[in-house]
Structure 1
Amino acid sequence: MTTTATTLSEARKNLEKLTDDVVDYGNHVIITKPQNRNVVIISEEEFISWQETMYLLGTEANRKNLDESLKQLEMSNLTTFSKEEWDKF
């Protein structure tokens, strides 16, 4: 994975290759524009992942639950549920 920067006019010329590299190799492309109105191209898969992360960390309650789960994992204090048990939740 690499991050590259290019101008808007260069991005237009190479858009297909830039977008293929973003998807195929996980690259990020910063397109520089006048007045520092830059944009970043990332893959849809990465965008969805970021959205999910933002959602999970979006509330204090979620952050506390995730922290507690990580502590339980570190202490091997885990509970395993069957599919049927999980479905009841």
Structure 2
Amino acid sequence: MAIHAYTVSDFRENLKAITDDVFDYNETVIITRPKKRNVVMISEAEYNSWQETLHLLGTTANQEALTTSLKQLDHQNTHILTPEDWTNLKLQDDDTDE
């Protein structure tokens, strides 16, 4: 991932090309402003990815579940579910919620 810095003037002059590069090449752009009031630009897809990561790591329970899953994966202690298995598990969960 490339990071480029532009002044506000340069950014204004090259807005289309810069925003195309952010989207097309997943570049990060820093728009430098006086008094270190800089702004960072990323693509919407990158922003959404960061938000999802923040959500997944947002609670201790989620962090522990992800850590456990990664350990299982590392030790190949996994079980692959078919779509039918997944549906049956979901139905069982729905029955216990009532």
Q: TM-score, normalised by structure 2?
A: 0.86
Divergent runs of 4+, >2 A: none
How many residues get paired? Answer: 89
Task: Give the drift of 1:85.
Answer: 2.0
Tell me the percent identity: 52
Partner of 1:14 in structure 2?
Answer: 14
If you compute each CA radius of gyration, which structure gives the higher value, 1 or 2?
Answer: 2
Q: Unpaired segments of 5 or more residues in structure 1?
A: none
Whole-Å Cα distance in 1 between the matches of residues 84 and 9 of structure 2? Answer: 56
Q: Which SS does the other structure have where 1:62 is aligned? A: helix
Deviations 1:53-84 (A, max 9, x none): 00000000000000000000000000111112
Partner of 1:30 in structure 2?
Answer: 30
Q: TM-score, normalised by structure 1?
A: 0.94
2:64 is the counterpart of 1:74? no
Whole-Å Cα distance in 2 between the matches of residues 17 and 27 of structure 1? Answer: 12
RMSD of the TM alignment (CA)?
Answer: 0.9
Q: Unpaired segments of 5 or more residues in structure 2?
A: 91-98
